[in-house]
Every structure is written in structure tokens, then in C-alpha cells.
Amino acid sequence: MKLRIIEESVLFVSILKWIVLAAGIGFVVGVSTTVFLKILAAAIAFAQDFPRYYLALPLGLFASVLIIKYMAREAQGYGTEKVIEAVHKNGGAMRAVVIPAKLCATVVTIAAGGSAGQVGPCAQIGGGLAAAFANAFRLDANDRKKLVICGISAGFAAVLGAPVAGAVFGLEVLFVGSLLYEVLLPSFIAGIISYHTAAVLGIDYFHYPVHLQPVFTEVFFLEIIGAGIFFGLCAILAIESLRLTRSLFDKIPVWPPLKGIIGGIFLIVLAFLTSFRYLGLGMEIIADSLQGVKVAASAFVMKILFTAVTFASGGSGGIIAPLMVIGAAAGAFFAAMTGLDAATFAAVGLVSVLAGAANTPIAMSILAIELFGKGIGAYAAIACVISFLITGHRSIFPTQVMAMKKSSSVEVELGQELDKVQARYKFREKSVIGTGIKMTKRIRKPGNGQKD
């Protein structure tokens, strides 16, 4: 009896400790996210006062690369990826200088017209603030990692207005096929506090209730399954396009900031040839898709291309928002090709492409409910899981660690980062007389996404 009382007392103290720490991180990240989003909005508004603001793209990407090169190399790329790397490799340690570097590089990139997002930077800034918070209170490496995960959750929640999805995203994005239950309570507290702090400080969120047919039908269920497969293929296209474009730019033998100028010029030419809608955040594409407004059939492909060039040439920002744009546009395309409801499949596509590309099906299933209402939840969950499985052992965040096999026919070594995974594929062939022949082929998977 005495031992049970001691155990319960220790657990009670631990709960109080993490309530206080997580609430503090949630508040700080909510404030920092608000500041970042308001600075970004002001910069975008200022830039777009000039009719041809996008002509500054070469200069903007050039400046972004300089900021990253001379302030903090960790500010390169997507943001979330660097926090995952810090948790897995550095015990959650992050340099404080990454906070202003990421903020400045992202604002310059997006305001000039680069195709990037705001979620990843907020997650990275949140992680950086959490690491600084942990250092100030002399917490050990294990507690620091937990706080940094809370920073990821809080940043996601405060940007998208999705506290539960944000909390689960921080727990799910580190490992493929595993949730960190030991950080469950602080992650939820940080996400909820961060979201409400940002809302009180004036951040507006978009929520589009999607009204589905009230009666379940087998045909609609099959359509959702087909959509999940399609969205998984879109996620693969996004991952591989980003990887290939980065590889091509890495081969250009010039001073890195000059690659920003090259990429900026390419984006300007591309915009003149296609549309200027694919520059910047691209949130109007999401709005049009969810409202049933016709979106160009090639919109999701073009957004992938604009985003890939932006990051390959040195732009800084987040990848989550562009993936949401890609998913919504892909959903509108799928609906147009099959004669289905555009709003429904745009909503499902928005979360499903992200679920497949980031290996976060649970968080994205919850995000569907928080953004679009409970009616779409079950169907979005099916599409998210299918997309997650279809993408195989690849990710937009290559330092995610494998914690599960996506198929019993694919042998992978668990505990490795995705960009180091070697897969062995098992399949069975039958001869004319029906003899089964087992065959195993070993294929080295290339690294995916950002590495630097």
C-alpha cells in the first residue's frame, strides 16, 4: 500500500510538472506564431502593393540563401524536418539563432512570391523556443526532447487552428507508424494553449463545413478508396519531384546564393507561361476548391513544380501548406474527372496528400474533422490511411524513423531513418503448372527530400 501511494505521488508531481511546462510552451509559441503570421501578412501585403512584385523573386531567393548561409544553416528547407532531425540526433538541442533566421528567410521567400508555407517555420520556431526554454530551466536531454515535440505541436495547432490535430501531429511525425504516448499530455496541453493564445491575439482561421450525403452507399465508399489511391500517388509525385529538383540544382556549379537568382528567374518565366496563382502561399486555390469554383486541371502538378523549384534554389519556408494546396487541387481534379462533388473531394484530398507525404494519417484524419466537420471524418480517415500506405517507405521528411512495415511483403530494418532504408521486396510468381516460386529482390531506395 505504501509503495502504491509513493508511485501515485510521483505520478501526480510529474503531471503537475508537465502541465506547467507545456502550458508555458503553448503560450510562448502561441505568441510567437501570432507575431510571425502578422509579420508575414504585412510583408505579403506590402509586396503585393506593387503590381509586378514577383519580379523581386530572384532577389528574394538570393537574400534567403544568404540569411541561411551566414546566420543558421538549420533554417534551410521546410522547418519541421530540422526539428525532427534535432530530436533524433541532438537530444532536441537547437541553436537560438535559428528563430530569427527562419523567420526572416521565410518572410523574404514568401513575400517575394516563393511557393512555400507558414506551418513548418512556426513548428521550427516553436521547437527552437522550447529548446531555449529547456536550457533556461536546466532540463535534461529527455525532457528537452519532450518540450521540443510540444513546440512542434503548438506551432502546427496555432497556424491551422487545429489543436487536437496539432498535438497528434507532433507525436506522430517523428516516427513512421508510432505515437509517443509519453508526450501525450504535454503535447495536447501545448497545442490547446497555443491555439487559444493565437486566437485571442487576433489570428483568424478558416473552417469549411462539408456536407456529405446522409446515407452510406457502397459506391461512395469505393469512390473514397479510389481517391485515397490517387492522393497517395499525388504524394509520391510531390516527394519525388522535390527530391529530383533538389538533386538537379545541387549539380549547378555556382555559388549557392546565385542558385536563388536562377530559381527566381525560372519561377517568373514559369508564372508567365502558366499562372501567377501558384506563387506564394496559394491559399486562394484551397478556397476555390472547397467552394466548388473551377480550378485548372493542372493546378496540383503546377503547384508541385513551383514548390520544388522554390526549395531547390534555396528558398525557406514550410512544406505543409503547399501540400495542402496540392491536395485540395488534386481533389478538385479527381472530382471533375469522375463527376463527383468537388468540395467533398477537395477536403479529402487536402488531408490525404499530406497524410501520405508526411506519414501522419491519424493527425490528418483528425484535421479533417477540425477543419471540415465530423461528417467527413470516417471517409477522410480511409483515404488518409490508403494514401499513407501507397507512398511506401518514403517521406517529405526523410529523417523520420521507421517504426513499422507498411506491408508484410516489404522487408525493412526498423529503427532507421527513411533516407537510409534499404527495402527487400518479396513477391510470388506461379508457373504454368502452378508451382509457387518465391523471389526476393533487394533495392536501395534513394534519399528523399531535404538533407541539408
Residues 316 and 439 occupy one common structural domain: no
How would residue 425 be classed by pLDDT, with cut points 50, 70 and 90?
low
Q: Are residues 82 and 159 in the same domain?
A: yes
Return d(Cα 429, Cα 4) in angstroms, integer. 58
Record the pTM. 0.89
Task: Choose one of 347, 369, 390: the last residue of a domain.
Answer: 390
Residues 311 and 412 in one domain: no
| pLDDT value at 1 more than 70 | no
* Residues 163 and 229 placed together within one structural domain of the fold: no
Residues contacting 339, CB < 8 A, separation 6+: none
- pLDDT score for 278: 95
**Residue 59 domain-assigned?**
yes
297-317: average pLDDT: 94
Q: Which amino acid is at 62?
A: F
Q: How far apart are alpha carbons 297 and 275 in whole angstroms?
A: 13
Q: Are residues 261 and 382 in the same domain?
A: yes
User: Which of 343-352, 375-384, 418-427 has the weakest average pLDDT?
Assistant: 418-427
pLDDT band at 401 (very low <50, low <70, confident <90, very high): confident
pLDDT top residue among 443 and 334: 334
End-to-end CA distance of the chain: give it in Å, rounded: 54
Same domain, residue pair 166 and 96:
yes
Question: What pLDDT score was predicted for residue 89?
Answer: 84
Q: How confident is the model at residue 144 (pLDDT cuts 50, 70, 90)?
A: very high
Q: Which domain holds residue 426?
A: 402-444
User: What integer is the mean pLDDT of 197-216?
Assistant: 78
Tell me the C-alpha distance between 105 and 76, whole Å.
8
Domain total in the chain: 3
Same domain, 196 and 229: no
Whether 426 is in a domain gets the answer: yes
pLDDT at 265: 96
Has residue 396 been placed in a domain?
A: no
Are residues 316 and 260 in contact, defined by beta-carbon separation less than 8 angstroms?
no
The CATH number for 127's domain is: 1.10.3080.10
195 inside domain: yes
Q: Is 364 a domain residue?
A: yes
Strand partners, 423: 443
102 has pLDDT over 80: yes
pLDDT tens, residue by residue, 211-262: 665 566 888 899 999 999 999 999 999 999 999 999 999 999 999 999 999 9
On whether both 195 and 276 belong to a single domain, the answer is: no
Tell me: do 318 and 425 sit in the same domain. no
Judgement on whether residues 78 and 190 belong to the same structural domain of the protein? yes
Residue 349 lies in a domain: yes
Confidence band, pLDDT 50/70/90 cuts, at residue 13: confident
Average pLDDT over residues 79-99: 85
According to DSSP H, which parts of 339-424 are helical? 342-358, 361-372, 377-390
DSSP structure string for 17-37: HHHHHHHHHHHHHHHHHHHHH
Do 116 and 14 have their domain in common? yes
* Residue 55 clears pLDDT 60, i.e. is over it: yes
Domain C-terminal end among 350, 367, 390: 390
In a domain, 451, yes or no: no
Q: What is the mean pLDDT of residues 299-324?
A: 94
Q: Are residues 294 and 414 in the same domain?
A: no
Q: Is residue 205 part of a domain?
A: no
Neighbours of 214 (CB within 10 A): 6
Q: Please state, in angstroms and rounded to a whole number, the distance separating the CA atoms of residues 107 and 189.
A: 28
